[in-house]
């Protein structure tokens, strides 16, 4: 596929924005959601923890609808729109849909959850399963615990049910 090849060979991220903007306008018009949005470049350069280069920021009367139930609608719009403009999935983290600071608040909540769960695993020695999460959230959990030597993390399950399990660290095994 030509578009996919172009993305891999480094099609600039900016080039996806015009089609993203016009498709999002079309989707909002047909869906009846009372929402506005603006696309902003993130001033800070991307890091290991924060890969976002552009934020699509929503506001308006239906903003609460976007972020209820762990931002199911916000995440669904982000996934479908980024797929539709043919961004390669490995680059999805570079354009982030956000509303009312949801992403930052959710990241803090997840980091706290990860630390509390890790403490429990250290105390009891038993594995602890977190709730199912999307790839971005699972990645955040793995990163939040990567410097905690007493535990290790794995992802288990398929599709929407995939979740992180925190385990006591065991000595590395030989194959």
Binding site for other proteins (CB under 8 A): 1, 23, 26-27, 30-33, 62, 65, 72-73, 75-77, 79-80, 83-85, 158-160
CA–CA separation, 156 vs 65, rounded Å? Answer: 30
Residue 61 or 104: the one with the smaller Cβ distance to other proteins is: 61
Smallest distance, other proteins to C-beta of residue 133, A = 13
Handedness of CA 147, 153, 159, 160 (dihedral sign): negative
Q: What is the DSSP letter of 95?
A: E
Minimum CB distance to other proteins smaller for 40 or for 72: 72
Q: Tell me the closest approach of the beta carbon of residue 56 to other proteins, in angstroms.
A: 15
Counting Cα atoms < 13 Å in the Cβ hemisphere of 111 gives 11
How many Å apart are CA 70 and CA 102, to the nearest integer? 9
Pick between residue 27 and residue 39 the one whose CB is nearest to other proteins: 27
CB of 89 to other proteins, least distance (A): 8
């Amino acid at each position: 596929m030509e578009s996919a090849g172009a993305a891999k060979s480094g099609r600039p991220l900016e080039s996806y924005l015009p089609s993203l903007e016009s498709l999002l306008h079309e989707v909002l018009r047909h869906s009846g959601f009372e929402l506005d949005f603006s696309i902003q470049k993130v001033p800070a350069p991307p890091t290991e923890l924060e890969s976002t280069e552009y934020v699509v920021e929503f506001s308006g009367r239906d903003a609460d609808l976007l972020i209820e139930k762990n931002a199911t609608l916000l995440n669904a719009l982000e996934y479908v729109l980024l797929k539709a403009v043919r961004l390669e999935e490995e680059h999805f983290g570079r354009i982030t849909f956000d509303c009312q600071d949801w992403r930052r608040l959710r990241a803090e909540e997840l980091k706290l959850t990860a630390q509390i769960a890790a403490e429990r695993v250290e105390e009891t020695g038993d594995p602890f399963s977190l709730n199912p999460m999307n790839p971005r959230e699972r990645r955040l959990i793995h990163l939040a615990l990567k410097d905690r030597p007493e535990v290790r993390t794995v992802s288990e399950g398929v599709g929407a049910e995939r979740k992180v399990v925190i385990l006591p660290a065991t000595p590395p095994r030989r194959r």
